[in-house]
Amino acid sequence: MMKDFDYQVVVVGSGAGGAMAAYTLAKAGHKVLMLEAGRDYDPKTETPMFKTNGQAPLMGAGNVDKDFGFYDATVDGGWTVPNEPYTTGKDSDFLWWRARMLGGRTNHWGRYSLRFSEHDFKGKSRDGLGADWPFEYQELAPWYDKTEALVGICGTNTGLDDMPDSAEGVLQPPPKPRVPELLVAAAAKKLGIPAVPMHRAVLTRPKDDRQACFYATPCGHGCSIGAAFQTTTSLIPMALATGNLKIITDAMVRKVDVDSKGKVNGLTYVDKKTSQDIKIPAKVVILAASACESARLLLNSKSEHHPNGLANSSMQVGRNIMDSTGTGLGAHIPALEGRPIYNEDGHTANHLFIPWWGHKSQTKGELDFPRGYHFELGTGFRAPGAGVSGDLQGYGKSLKEQAKKHYGAGVYLALRGEMLPNEHCYMEIDEAVRDKWGIPVAKFHWKWSEHELKQVEHGLKTAKAILETMGATFTEPLPSAEQAILKGGQIIHEVGSTRMGESPKESVTNQYGQTWDCDNVFVMDAGVFASNPHKNCTLTIMTLAMRNATWLAEQLTNGEL
Amino acid sequence: MAKVIKNDKGALYQSTISRRESLKWLGVLSASALLPSLVGCDVNDKAVDVAKEAIKGHWPDLSLPPISVKGYGKDPDMIIPPSSPWPKTLSAEHLTLVAILADILVPRDGDVPSATEVNVPDVIDEWVSAPYKRQQDDRLTILSMLVWIDDESTLRFAKGFAGLSSVEQLMIMDDVAYHTDETPAQYKRVAAAFSRFRKLALAAFFCSPEGTKDLGYVGNVPIAGDYPGPTDEAMEHLNKALANLGLAL
Ligand SMILES: Cc1cc2nc3c(=O)[nH]c(=O)nc-3n(C[C@H](O)[C@H](O)[C@H](O)COP(=O)(O)OP(=O)(O)OC[C@H]3O[C@@H](n4cnc5c(N)ncnc54)[C@H](O)[C@@H]3O)c2cc1C
Ligand code: SF4
């Protein structure tokens, strides 16, 4: 099939990392073959725009088939993937969200897109924990600018120490804040905590072939007009238009192949439509199958020269896995009861959020945990669904009155925080269990440390203080951190399984995502993260993929590879 | 329009939605819905026992066969969602009871239709007939509640709930529709179950176009240009709220 297409690079995966890598290489004139395990997917025709929950089974409520609701754009994925199990170690809880579709999880991600800062890249230098990244923020800043401009990010330069500014003219204007967000901001301000416009990969101005947001239809359903960034309406069609990209869907890569000297020279994938194994040659391989799938692939690509798995002489493949910490606290806010109704859809996610404000207190040693967190806000007059809030009593007229009084009067603060790597959080291959294609599955081990628990405890207290300042009352005591912290993987920011670093001893790749052991194998997903700052990971996945694929393109052009 | 038709035998819910009916419940329920403590009682003792029973409370011990049909899967058509993703399972009697209860919860209010008029019973039927865990749990809760209501009605008035006058129906409602610390022990269980039903019925009502309008949700319409933000009226309300709380933007 690929006889007349002389590709130089094979990219595994079409999500945030894979699509950015492929786009960058294709634009630079290199021919790329992309292998994607999921089915082809076209948001233009498949997105359920303007559909109401009432038109869906079960009022749109989620279940094992559609975990985040009937209309969630995720195809053939979620907390479970048919025919593709994974296992967990004793006493370990880990949830692994996967999507099997062109565009991967970018079809339905939350689009929150916050830059990491110098502070974030050099945590270890500061507090001795975890690992530093092998470059400075200044090195990445121009790549963040380029990525933000290409992806389309709305937000503002806040000047806050937790939010590095973008170059002038890069960000698109954010939408106006809504009433409950303003109330949160006012309450937080009284406590000395800022609330500012969220940065989101949502266009508020048209760009390329993509339209600006029209402030309706939840982005998790996908966005047929291309306003909410997903690779299937942007990077992938743009890369295809260069003529330098070919994609094979339903192609589940089984392993990376090596020659008799141990040099990578190809890949084997399962054509899911026929269940046949297909071997293809490859000069350069980019793994972007998502952090834990890429690590699984490396571990499953054992050979005589690579007995611990490919690129694993450091034994760090599958180690250092981090997710974001997650918890939250909500309350009914009497001051919001019966407020005048208006259209609060906006871009259907946070217009304001609370960034990490504690850098200074931390420096002064006033906090008993090392890294930061932010709050995302859950509020608003939402489209009706399968849930109705409030402690409702009785029947008839008074019942409806109670429900209407509660409508739009709840506020939820969701904590997303930085976790540190620890020796109990890792993945390996479970040799005893195979997926439908006969590929050994991943086995996860997980344990939160004191750092995360202390942080969550602090976050719950802070959330309570903010909600109380808004007039909420709490009759129940706060849950303990152990009870409140969500499970590993549940925030869906898994990173670190093939981390980058300064030396082949402690890391799997160099700063360009090039594996130390195999110079023609790159990782361009969140596996390479050396730490997992509280800011959602995907903007940085794409920024690194753009920078590192640009470096790779130069290597190819110069004949270094 | 779907509605409850009253006739001399009681009432019957008539749906406007054509449904692939499977009437399995009657058999299952008539066996399990018997009041355990009344079984074997002499008819003459009944009045006395009923009084005792009301104090202790009763609860039908239903054993429902699991729903084993398939769900809609991980790649359903989202543009034209399946209108009947699995067979509905409520019997005509239970559907009627659901309809009566739903209309007590959400009666017609001027121009605003009642729950039944916007097909809430069909949504409940779809919900309790779904093969997923949460829905199967709700199925047991809600069917037990339905059976309890009919049992209670029979104990108090020697008739099923559908055959009662509105005043009689509301006498029972007043005992089950409040789930608070003060709820008497014998009603705690049914009040909890009824709460679940109340939320589902209300959600189904608000999910209908008429209910959505009644709730006041005005989104899901495209806006040209920038998002306008809060109205002046909404900001005025906020400013008052801020002043009351001693806060400032
Ligand atoms: C509901 C939700 C909300 C989120 N919100 C945010 C947010 O607001 N901000 C944020 O930064 N992040 C968010 N995320 C996380 C974000 O989606 C991921 O970080 C991002 O998509 C990861 O990109 P990726 O390229 O590594 O992986 P993916 O996007 O998962 O793409 C990987 C692709 O590789 C394919 N693949 C896997 N294995 C193989 C194989 N063996 N062979 C071939 N192909 C394979 C998969 O099918 C998939 O399509 C969210 C995620 C979810 C689920
Ligand atoms: S809210 Fe805006 S960005 Fe999100 S899906 Fe709708 S149109 Fe697209």
Of A46, A176, A399, the CB nearest to B79: A46
Judge: A215–B204 Cβ closer than 8 Å, yes or no: no
B62 min Cα distance to partner chain A (Å): 24
Please tell me the residue having the least CA distance from ligand 1 atom 27.
Answer: A290
Reported confidence tier of residue A42, pLDDT bands at 50, 70, 90: very high
Enter the pTM of the model. 0.94
Of A15-24, A548-557, B6-15, the poorest mean pLDDT is in: B6-15
Ligand 1 contacts CB of residue A154 (under 6 A): no
pLDDT at B238 over 70: yes
Atom of ligand 2 nearest to the CA of A228: 3
If one compares B28 and A361, the residue with the highest pLDDT of the two is A361
CA of A164 to the centre of ligand 1 (A): 25
The B residues from 163 to 192 touching A (CB cutoff 8 Å) are 173, 177-180
pLDDT at A3 (0 to 100): 73
Mean pLDDT to the nearest integer, A168-194: 98
DSSP string, B174-239: HHHS--STTS-HHHHHHHHHHHHHHHHHHHHHHHSHHHHHHHT---SS--SSS---S-HHHHHHHH
Whether the predicted interface score ipTM is above 0.85 = yes
Judge: B133–A64 Cβ closer than 8 Å, yes or no: yes
| Ligand showing the shortest atom-to-Cα distance for residue A495 | 1
The β-bridge partners of A34 are A11, A247
Report d(CA A403, CA A390) in Å as an integer.
Answer: 7
H and E: helices and strands count for chain B: 9, 2
Pairing of strands A32-35, A9-12: parallel
Pocket of ligand 1, candidates A36, A105, A236, A544: which has the most ligand atoms within 8 Å of its Cβ, to mutate? A105
pLDDT at B15 (0 to 100): 65
Q: What is the mean pLDDT of chain A?
A: 98
pLDDT at B10 (0 to 100): 62
Residues of chain B with pLDDT > 70: what percent? 79
Judge: A399–B198 Cβ closer than 8 Å, yes or no: yes
pLDDT per residue over A285-325, tens digit each? 999 999 999 999 999 999 999 999 999 999 999 999 999 99
Report d(CA A349, CA B69) in Å as an integer.
Answer: 36
Please tell me the residue having the least CA distance from ligand 2 atom 3.
Answer: A228
Judge: A383–B212 Cβ closer than 8 Å, yes or no: yes
Question: Do A392 and B195 touch, CB atoms closer than 8 A?
Answer: yes
pLDDT at A59 over 60: yes
Residues of chain A with pLDDT > 90: what percent? 99
A493 min Cα distance to partner chain B (Å): 22
Size of interface A-B (CB pairs under 8 A): 224
pLDDT at A197 over 70: yes
Of B81, B219, B242, the CB nearest to A70: B81
Alpha carbon distances (Å) from B107 to A4, A528, B7: 69, 59, 19
Q: Helix (H, G, I), strand (E, B), or coil: what is residue A514?
A: strand
Pocket of ligand 1, candidates A24, A114, A538, A541: which has the most ligand atoms within 8 Å of its Cβ, to mutate? A538
Report d(CA A229, CA A234) in Å as an integer.
Answer: 7
pLDDT at A2 (0 to 100): 64
pLDDT per residue over A106-145, tens digit each? 999 999 999 999 999 999 999 999 999 999 999 999 999 9
Report d(CA B123, CA A145) in Å as an integer.
Answer: 49
Report d(CA B31, CA B39) in Å as an integer.
Answer: 12
| B182-208: b (≥16 Cβ within 10 Å) or e | ebeebbebbbebbbebbbbbbbbbbbb
pLDDT per residue over A348-359, tens digit each? 999 999 999 999
Token pair of B29 as six digits = 């329920």
pLDDT per residue over B47-85, tens digit each? 444 444 444 589 998 999 999 999 999 999 999 999 889
Question: Do A374 and A359 touch, CB atoms closer than 8 A?
Answer: no
Pairing of strands A264-271, A276-281: antiparallel
Report d(CA B25, CA A100) in Å as an integer.
Answer: 39
The helix (run of H) or strand (run of E) holding residue B12 is: strand B10-14
pLDDT at A4 (0 to 100): 85
- Sheet of A251-258: strand order equals A251-258, A264-271, A276-281
CA of A547 to the centre of ligand 2 (A): 28
pLDDT at B130 over 50: yes
Give the phi and the psi of residue A276 in degrees, each rounded to 5.
Answer: -90, 145
